[in-house]
Chains A and B, each alone.
Chain A
Amino acid sequence: MLRFLLRRSLGAVVILLVISAVTFFLFYAIPRNPALLACGKGVCTDDQLAVVEHNLGIDEPIPVQYWHYMVGIFAGRDFPAGHCPAPCLGFSFRDNRPVLDTILDRLPTTVSLTIGGALVFLVLGLGFGMLAAWRRGSLLDRVVSSASLVLSSMQIYFLGPLALAVLVYGDHQIFPQPEYVPFTEQPLDWLKGLLLPWLVLATIFTANYTRMARATLIEQLHEDHVRTARAKGMSRATVFFRYAWRGSLIPIVTIFGVDLGSLFGGAMITEFTFTLPGLGRLAVESVTQSNLPMLMGVMLFAALMIVLFNIIVDACYALIDPRVRLA
């Protein structure tokens, strides 16, 4: 296990290094002048431009800039506008503070949104999927299957405003207005404020997980070992939960890992719809403000999450499937 983790972590570091290099290159080499981009759509005088260029550190060749960036991550770095301690993911000139500080400020929102939402869609999705597979062909199965088909084709940018219009700003306010209150300050308000975003985020995921759980469970129930177990007289429930259920976990864990990884990098559309101050909104804000250092930092952080959860998923395989050996 330890050797596996070590090897995978090394691979992850390599991937992250390449991603950072590619992103850095695309950000700072493709635009004819990144400083112009940072100036935005206004008129930037040549003097201001020179200041921006110097602040961004782009008056040097790109490989040198990248080297400085990498050194900054491990050893910290000094900018004309201030000091950025290690691990320095860059320095934002819009608000004059290290990028990492802002990311850490925004992280609790994204984490709260993801954990709550994931809990809802995992329980509901697997539950509905199991029900539908257990009673395959029944009315219940048909209702669950069609509902999940339609809901999985929903988009958060339609469902979110719709839910807000009907459930919050409608004639009868059913849900409290979505907002982020730190859990440590007001646990109850935290719950209230995130309830609707959780449900909206979870609706589409629930539909997908229902379909997936149903499909893999039905596939598993057709396996030979399941038939054998039934033939030798094991009850349907035992076979269902002990054999089929366990076999269907692997594809679900894979997708769940991928989903969690990308959600921790920022649930962009959900955060944007409910104006929650998370990483996804931070990314959108940075794009509209052309804040390249911030974008670079968020990008690296999100990539880290994806890579991290890939490793966790692979480690989980060994726990679920005894045939898998980590080496």
Chain B
Amino acid sequence: MASATQAVEAEVGAELVGRSPGQLMWRRFRRDRVGVISGCVVLLFFLLGLFAPLIAKLYGKDPYTRYGQVRPGLLNEFGYPIKPNGGIDGEFWFGLEPGTGRDVFTELLYGIRTSLLIALAVTVLATLTAIVLGVAAGFLGGRWDFFISRLIDLLMAFPQQLFFVAFLPIIATLFVDPREETPTWVKVVSIVVVLWALGWMTLGRILRGTALSLREREFVEAARVSGASSWRIIRKELLPNVVSPMLVQSTYMLPNFVTTAAALSFLGVGITEPTPDWGRMFSTAAEVYHSDITYMFFPGVSMVIFVVAFNLLGDAVRDAFDPKTVG
């Protein structure tokens, strides 16, 4: 932000000022109205997840208490909300969950929190892996390049969804005996591990290509001639140049991880009861839609908004980095 105001001041002063690529990117991004709006929407979702406990406290409900079962007059004898539209009223803003009678609003807040936590962890891990392996393959070349590229080819040939579904329980056995119930943190860690394992290759391949072409550029050659070590070249010459493909690709990656993790919970192999999770709400919704269709709207519509906003943000970030792209 500070750099942007500096840039504006420079413009007023009407003198020539050098701007870093980051400043240029930020200036272009700010002019993109759709990009800014979708960026705000994305930010809102992250804030909702981050402050879920605070919001829940102000709102006065929590996602675990079974209000409908504790208090009479909320659910009918079949476990469905008595009031129309899934039991929406001034007290339960998004209604009640059929069967358990939990508050849908806080459930969704905490669900978004869980999902974003998982997706964020996977994105960070996958990006780091892609940087290390991609840059190593591109810069070191030779045998390293061969092995890392073959690894990428191999992992790309794996049937993704099947891999996730099949390996979740197996990763879980690393932590707990299969005969015992799996604690929630083990499930979260297993989901992060399987998504990470098959999540880094696309970016890794892009970064390999970038590093490969950068290696032959004059400034890298100049650095090498002036006696810079490989480590210094990677740190000072290569890494600053892979920031833009990295940023663009991770913006596309994160919503994908959110929806994939949600799919796992929907299939019943990801996060399970009673932990609130965005994806788990879809599996509940699929059981109750015969009698209560309202329930599925809140997780469904919020997820569509989230993914649309994130994809638009990704396009805006890409355009901001590369002014040549035509839409």
Contact = CB atoms under 8 A, between A and B. Distances in A.
Given A150-B308, A218-B326, A303-B158, A32 B173 contact: yes
A162 interface: yes
Nearest to A218: B326
Contact of A26 (B165, B170, B181, B263): B170
Interface stretch (B65-73, B211-219, B234-242, B289-297): B289-297
B153 interface: yes
A70 to B, nearest CB: 18
Contact of B289 (A27, A169, A269, A306): A169
A154 B303 CA distance: 8
A36 B159 contact: no
B304 interface: yes
Q: Is the interface of A mostly helix, strand, loop or mixed?
A: helix
A161 B296 contact: yes
Given A36-B177, A157-B282, A306 B170 contact: no
Interface string A1-39: 000000000000001001100100011001111001101
A15 B304 contact: no
B157 A306 contact: yes
Nearest to B285: A161
Contact of A15 (B157, B259, B285): B157
A153 B162 contact: no
Interface in A13-69: 15, 18-19, 22, 26-27, 30-33, 36-37, 39-44
Interface string B148-184: 0000011001111111011111110110011101000
A266 B304 CA distance: 24
Interface string A271-285: 011000000100110
B58 to A, nearest CB: 29
Interface stretch (B1-9, B98-106, B133-141, B266-274): B266-274
A167 to B, nearest CB: 12
Nearest to A149: B308
A153 B304 contact: yes
Contact of A154 (B174, B293, B304, B312): B304
A283 B165 contact: yes
B263 A290 contact: no
B313 interface: no
Interface string A129-159: 0000000000000000000011011110110
A182 B3 CA distance: 65
A246 interface: no
Given A165-B290, A268-B267, A30 B170 contact: yes
Nearest to A18: B154
Given A158-B304, A222-B326, 8 more contacts: A19-B158, A33-B178, A36-B179, A162-B293, A280-B161, A288-B269, A295-B166, A307-B157
A32 to B, nearest CB: 6
Contacts of A219: 326
Contacts of B300: 155, 158, 162
B286 A30 contact: no
B191 interface: no
B157 A19 contact: yes
Given A161-B282, A299-B163, A269 B267 contact: yes
A218 B286 CA distance: 40
Q: Which 7 residue pairs of A and B lie closest in terms of their CB atoms, listed nearest first?
A: A302-B159, A153-B307, A158-B300, A165-B289, A31-B173, A157-B266, A153-B308
A15 B170 contact: no
Contacts of B320: none
Given A222-B326, A266-B162, A299-B166, A43 B179 contact: yes
B131 interface: no
B311 A31 contact: no
A266 B293 CA distance: 28
Nearest to A43: B179
A45 to B, nearest CB: 11
Contacts of A218: 326
Looking at B159, B255, B300, which has the most chain A CB atoms within 10 Å of its CB?
Answer: B159
24 contacts: A19-B154, A31-B173, A32-B173, A36-B173, A40-B178, A41-B179, A152-B311, A153-B304, A157-B266, A157-B283, A158-B296, A160-B286, A162-B293, A162-B296, A166-B293, A169-B290, A222-B326, A266-B161, A266-B162, A268-B263, A284-B269, A287-B168, A288-B269, A290-B169
A164 interface: yes
Interface residues of A, number: 59
A262 interface: yes
B167 A157 contact: no
Interface in B97-142: none
A15 B151 CA distance: 10
A164 B289 contact: yes
Contacts of B248: none
Interface string B180-217: 01000000000000000000000000000000000000
Contacts of A305: 159
Nearest to A164: B289
A267 B193 CA distance: 23
B129 to A, nearest CB: 17
B293 A155 contact: no
Nearest to B309: A153
Given A161-B285, A169-B289, A287 B169 contact: yes
A201 to B, nearest CB: 14
B262 interface: yes
B277 to A, nearest CB: 13
A125 interface: no
Given A30-B170, A162-B300, A157 B157 contact: no
Contacts of A166: 293
Contacts of A272: 266-267
B268 A262 contact: no
A90 interface: no
A31 B171 CA distance: 8
B303 A284 contact: no
A298 interface: yes
